[in-house]
Amino acid sequence: MPGKSTLTGNICLIKIGGTEVGRAQNVTADSDFGLEDVSGIGDVEVQEHVNTKVSHTLTMDKFIINKKTLLELGIVPVSEDVLTKGVFDIEILTKDGTLLKKYESCSCASYSLRIAAHAIVGENATWRALSAQIPS
């Protein structure tokens, strides 16, 4: 019987600033290519599509591990330290270390702490990256 070839979240790791982030439940990585319609007076239909700006956004939901929140790891800002907080590279890898995608110079755009009755405490963060790379 051949080995499994389907990639699942069970064999992926997330590293932020070189540190593995545990208990991630969901990571969504979006790229927007800034596609705009080009048309003009007298043209009912679009004549062309033009890419104007590329932006990359990553959102992560994770469960809290004692002493390992994104705040405690220094990955997201607390308040006014947003003005001095550095940028991070975020890597999505397989457990054997194969790089799937790397987002460079990521800045935290938002953070939330999620507390509910009878549920594991969680957190959510969104970063914006200046660039993205896939291995060649």
pLDDT in tens, the chain (136 residues): 567 778 888 888 899 999 888 888 999 999 999 999 999 999 899 999 999 999 999 999 998 877 778 888 888 898 888 888 889 999 999 888 889 999 999 999 999 999 999 999 899 999 999 999 998 7
Query: Where does 13-133 sit in CATH, by number?
Result: 2.40.30
* Interatomic CA distance for residues 76 and 73, integer angstroms: 8
CA within 13 Å, CB half, 21? 30
* Encoded tokens for 10: 């069970």
> What's the Cα-to-Cα distance from 57 to each of 13, 60, 70, 127, rounded to whole Å?
18, 10, 17, 6
Identify the pLDDT of residue 2.
67
Identify the pLDDT of residue 6.
84
The domains of the chain are located at 13-133
Identify the pLDDT of residue 69.
84
Task: Give the predicted TM-score (pTM) of the model.
Answer: 0.84
* Interatomic CA distance for residues 114 and 122, integer angstroms: 5
> 3-class SS at 76?
coil
